Structure 1
Amino acid sequence: MAVAGAIFGAAFGGWINDKYGRKKSILLADILFFIGAIVMAAAVAPWMIILGRIFVGLGVGMASMTSPLYISESSPARIRGALVSTNGLLITGGQFLAYLINLAFTKTPGTWRWMLGVAGVPAVVQFFLMLSLPESPRWLYSQDKVKEARAILEKIYPANEVEQEMQALQSSIEADKASEVSIGHGFISKVKHIWGNDVVRRGLYAGITVQVAQQFVGINTVMYYSPTIVQLAGFASNKTALALSLITSGLNAVGSIVSMAFVDRFGRRRLMIVSMFGIIVCLIALSVMFHQASNHAPAVSSFESLHFGRNSTCGSFLNAYEPSNWNCMSCLKASSDCGFCANGDSKYHPGACLAATDAVKGMCKGEHRTWYTKGCPSKFGFFAVLLLGLYIISYSPGMGTAPWIVNSEIYPLKYRGIGGGIAAVSNWVSNLIVSETFLTLTEALGSSGTFLLFAGFSTIGLVAIYFLVPETKGLQFEEVEKMLEKGFKPSLCGNVKEDDSK
């Protein structure tokens, strides 16, 4: 429900950004987030938690496209990428911190109420700090507040660069006003004519491509379901799975620091292409690893299963045509009512396929055996977790932050809110599709097939990024517009050439 709310938050956020400015959009996002956190903490029924999640989602969706936009418009071009990457670092660092905070609340009275309610604190802090910050100078200039825009630019740029920035803004605004004569001033008019504008259309091709690709590499399956994936790799303990998921979120934050250091040196496009190659290799390796883990899962022993009594044995196993061919994965896939109780001497020896009830689980653990319901004992489990870490390291510096940087600088000023909003909606819709289908895919295709599918999506994304996404490193916003107006085509070395034929 939070992701669904984020879709609408991003959609309305684009209009609010253009109409009322970046600062007011962030303040509104803080209010929505605070309301959602309080509603969830005070919930007396499930519908209140759902309502709170929707409010939180609206705030997250609005902030997700506004924050990078606000930062980029208030930053000098030479360090713009690094400053927008800071936004990514604080998001991933916040995720890691949230894991730790929730862990601290597990043993306090009213555990989940504190977990959900404390999320309102950052929103309050940001709201009051945001009151002291200025509006985006580029938005102010577009609203004919020239003196206010100049005053803010004088605080950001050296004195000798302010006039140059003002002239670039003036030419950009004049071009926008000229286009408005033919398309009109309203929001609906802009949307209707958006695909007829070469600059905006090419910007949207790039912006939507990177946002959809960011999600279809499968990142949020790892972030949302990392404890489940770790269990699929053969780690049965919930505590172990949660501890390892902390590591994945920590690596995500570290990757954001790498992005800050290199995004303005090597460029957004090159960083994303290198990132995608690393992601594809890791996903294919994960697919192979999970396939091997499945093939080498411990066998199911009839003697071990009947050791707990016929009534405790999984019904699917008892009625199987060739039970001697069963292994742990066969047991778990047969039915959600089946669980695997590992051998007492070694978890890699043949074990028991039992009914997945609390009583039977207690009997299994009573004999100091390990109980499995998601994955099986595997000698490959450590390597699977290692590959998950490498996948995060490949993803975070490039595909984790660069798509938001690209979308904060690829659109003309008048269309920056609408363009960023459309791209953010595509991101959250893709997020919802991937996260909602992951568990179903693992049941239908298995873990190996699911990761291989994401490798295929990532390959398509890599090709699309290569052909559709230009490099914007170090360019003024107005220079990006001129590049898109002329058109571009990729070169073999990863840079972008202007297409003079267009």
Structure 2
Amino acid sequence: MPRFIPNYYNLACVIFVALGSCACSYGQSIIGSTIGQPSFYTSFNLAKQGEPGYSGTSKLISAMNGVMTAGSIFGTAFTAWFADKWGCRVAVQIGTSVMIVGIVLVSGSVNMAMFLIGRFIAGFGIGNLTTIVPLYQAEISTPEQRGFMVCMHGVMVSVGYIGASWIGFGCYFAYPFGDSTFPWRFPLAFNMVPNLVLLVGSFWLPSSPRWLLGKGREDEAFQTLRRLHRTKDDPEELHIRREFYQMKAQLEYDKESKQGLGRFPLFSTAQ
């Protein structure tokens, strides 16, 4: 086994959760081919480039990108709260569920208002997953292999960009001169595939050992850490025990530090 992989179970978890990274980059970039489909403009009675009224269309195109970015900001802001309260695994499930709702609305849109609302909701899920996936990868990895494991986030982001480009390109030729909505609806709807796979499979992902330990579930945290970091080179599991106690000490120190800060005001009026 390569030295940068603790065990294949750990690697499988890291790669599987990175489906969220793929879904995020796909969802962000697929709009590029959507606005290149002639039938998209026909479906919403939008003026095409060179036609009277295109200035209004260009503003709507800007809004399509803007509302997703706004949704991502809100999704990112709430991720810390989700992860702290329910753990990274549940935060992943929330992100994928929200994004699926957004994808359904966008791909099934019958008017521009529905499309923009769907983009905002999908953006919320993207903001959540873009933040939580690398965090989860880092928390289930060993300190020595953390850099390699978190790189899987970037790799799958690239996969999502590539997939969006080729699927959008291929669908352009499905009905190049017809009025079918398939060329723009299908690429948008296809983003449900990685989200659904991740949502269903997330129930088999382990919770973060650090989060379990922070919630007082020490036995479960240790057993999860053993499963993730067990290696043949350490039959007595000394490395795992050392990492567990270091994690425990760090959490206790953080707790004491927060309590200590709570005894002092942020700003003192004493002269």
After TM superposition, the structure 1 = structure 2 runs for residues 103-182 of structure 1, keeping only pairs within 5 Å, are 103-108=169-174, 109-110=180-181, 111-158=183-230, 159-182=237-260
Which amino acid in structure 1 is aligned with residue 220 of structure 2? E
After TM superposition, the structure 1 = structure 2 runs for residues 397-476 of structure 1, keeping only pairs within 5 Å, are none
Per-residue CA deviations over 1:51-94 (Å, capped at 9, x if unaligned) read: 11111110110111100010011011111111101111001111
- Separation in structure 2 between the aligned mates of residue 167 and residue 6 of structure 1, nearest angstrom: 36
Residue 33 of structure 1 is matched in structure 2 by: 99
Per-residue CA deviations over 1:73-121 (Å, capped at 9, x if unaligned) read: 1011111111101111001111111111111222334211112111112
Residues 9 and 57 of structure 1 are in contact (CA less than 8 Å); yes or no, is this contact kept in structure 2? yes
The offset of 1:183, in angstroms, is 4.5
Residue 124 of structure 2 is matched in structure 1 by: 58
The offset of 1:173, in angstroms, is 1.5
Residue 19 of structure 1 is matched in structure 2 by: 85
Which amino acid in structure 2 is aligned with residue 178 of structure 1? E
Per-residue CA deviations over 1:316-375 (Å, capped at 9, x if unaligned) read: xxxxxxxxxxxxxxxxxxxxxxxxxxxxxxxxxxxxxxxxxxxxxxxxxxxxxxxxxxxx
The offset of 1:129, in angstroms, is 1.2
- Separation in structure 2 between the aligned mates of residue 40 and residue 170 of structure 1, nearest angstrom: 45
The offset of 1:161, in angstroms, is 1.0
Please, what TM-score do these two structures have when normalized by structure 1? 0.36
Per-residue CA deviations over 1:465-491 (Å, capped at 9, x if unaligned) read: xxxxxxxxxxxxxxxxxxxxxxxxxxx
- Separation in structure 1 between the aligned mates of residue 137 and residue 214 of structure 2, nearest angstrom: 17
Residues 34 and 121 of structure 1 are in contact (CA less than 8 Å); yes or no, is this contact kept in structure 2? no
The offset of 1:122, in angstroms, is 1.1
Residue 86 of structure 1 is matched in structure 2 by: 152
Which amino acid in structure 1 is aligned with residue 185 of structure 2? R
- Separation in structure 2 between the aligned mates of residue 183 and residue 10 of structure 1, nearest angstrom: 26
Per-residue CA deviations over 1:377-430 (Å, capped at 9, x if unaligned) read: xxxxxxxxxxxxxxxxxxxxxxxxxxxxxxxxxxxxxxxxxxxxxxxxxxxxxx
* Alignment equivalent of 1:97, drawn from 147, 160, 163: 163
Residues 33 and 58 of structure 1 are in contact (CA less than 8 Å); yes or no, is this contact kept in structure 2? yes
Please, what TM-score do these two structures have when normalized by structure 2? 0.66
- Separation in structure 1 between the aligned mates of residue 240 and residue 145 of structure 2, nearest angstrom: 16
The offset of 1:179, in angstroms, is 2.0
The offset of 1:182, in angstroms, is 3.4
After TM superposition, the structure 1 = structure 2 runs for residues 307-386 of structure 1, keeping only pairs within 5 Å, are none
- Separation in structure 2 between the aligned mates of residue 85 and residue 128 of structure 1, nearest angstrom: 24
The runs of 5 or more residues in structure 1 that have no matched partner are: 185-191, 194-502
Per-residue CA deviations over 1:188-242 (Å, capped at 9, x if unaligned) read: xxxx97xxxxxxxxxxxxxxxxxxxxxxxxxxxxxxxxxxxxxxxxxxxxxxxxx
- Separation in structure 1 between the aligned mates of residue 186 and residue 196 of structure 2, nearest angstrom: 16
Residues 70 and 136 of structure 1 are in contact (CA less than 8 Å); yes or no, is this contact kept in structure 2? yes
Residue 15 of structure 2 is matched in structure 1 by: none
* Alignment equivalent of 1:45, drawn from 107, 111, 116: 111
Once the two structures are overlaid, the 10-residue window that deviates more, 165-174 or 135-144, is 165-174
Matching of residue 75 in structure 1 with residue 141 in structure 2: yes
SS in 1 for 2:216: coil
Residue 440 of structure 1 is matched in structure 2 by: none
Residue 11 of structure 2 is matched in structure 1 by: none
Which amino acid in structure 1 is aligned with residue 219 of structure 2? K
Q: 1 or 2 for the larger relative contact order (CA 8 Å, sep ≥6)?
A: 2
What value does the CA root-mean-square deviation take over the aligned residues? 1.7
- Separation in structure 2 between the aligned mates of residue 162 and residue 83 of structure 1, nearest angstrom: 18
Q: Determine what percentage of the aligned residue pairs are the same residue.
A: 28
The runs of 5 or more residues in structure 2 that have no matched partner are: 1-66, 175-179, 231-236, 267-271
Q: Number of matched residues?
A: 187
The structure with more radius of gyration: 1
